Amino acid sequence: MKHPVFLFDESRLLEVGAAIGTSLCERLNLRILAMTVRTWHVHTVIAATRHGLPRIVKCAKDAARWNLRPGRPIWTAGYDKRFCFDEASVRRRIAYVERHNIEMGLPAKPWDFIVDWP
């Protein structure tokens, strides 16, 4: 890595999540089914969309950077992507992401922009 690891401040995780989710909903009209923001990564489950994943990731990363204004790069290159092709796999992904929020003492759906599936 060219820069030291960047960790989100724990006191700002909800704020960063709000910035990311609001941007994805308003700019790309996405339906967010689940999201969690941890100090070193973000998980998001979105409903089917016509937008390509690179555009979605760029929108999310730009929103976090704009909100934090860290004055340095905060992301590594690339990202993990997993597609769900049936309802059972979507529900498993949502439950996985929601567990992260619950483990942190938050509601499963801590932001108003998260919608129920289906």
Paired strand residues for 46: 32
Q: With respect to residue 109, please indicate whether it lies within any of the assigned structural domains.
A: no
- Tell me if the bond preceding 118 is cis, omega within 30° of 0: yes
Q: With respect to residue 32, please indicate whether it lies within any of the assigned structural domains.
A: yes
What would the pLDDT profile of 69-87 be if each residue is shown by its tens digit? 998 888 777 788 999 999 9
Q: With respect to residue 4, please indicate whether it lies within any of the assigned structural domains.
A: no
Could you give the number of structural domains in the chain?
1
Instruction: Name which residue leads in pLDDT, 5 or 88.
Output: 88
Q: With respect to residue 57, please indicate whether it lies within any of the assigned structural domains.
A: yes
The number of angstroms, rounded, from the C-alpha of 78 to the middle of its chain's C-alpha atoms is: 14
Whole-angstrom Cα distance, residue 59 to residue 89? 25
The number of angstroms, rounded, from the C-alpha of 91 to the middle of its chain's C-alpha atoms is: 17
Q: With respect to residue 95, please indicate whether it lies within any of the assigned structural domains.
A: yes
Q: With respect to residue 99, please indicate whether it lies within any of the assigned structural domains.
A: yes
Whole-angstrom Cα distance, residue 48 to residue 102? 25
pTM of the predicted structure, to 2 decimals: 0.93
Q: With respect to residue 90, please indicate whether it lies within any of the assigned structural domains.
A: yes
What would the pLDDT profile of 102-113 be if each residue is shown by its tens digit? 999 999 999 999
Q: With respect to residue 113, please indicate whether it lies within any of the assigned structural domains.
A: no
Look up the domain containing 59 and give its range: 10-103
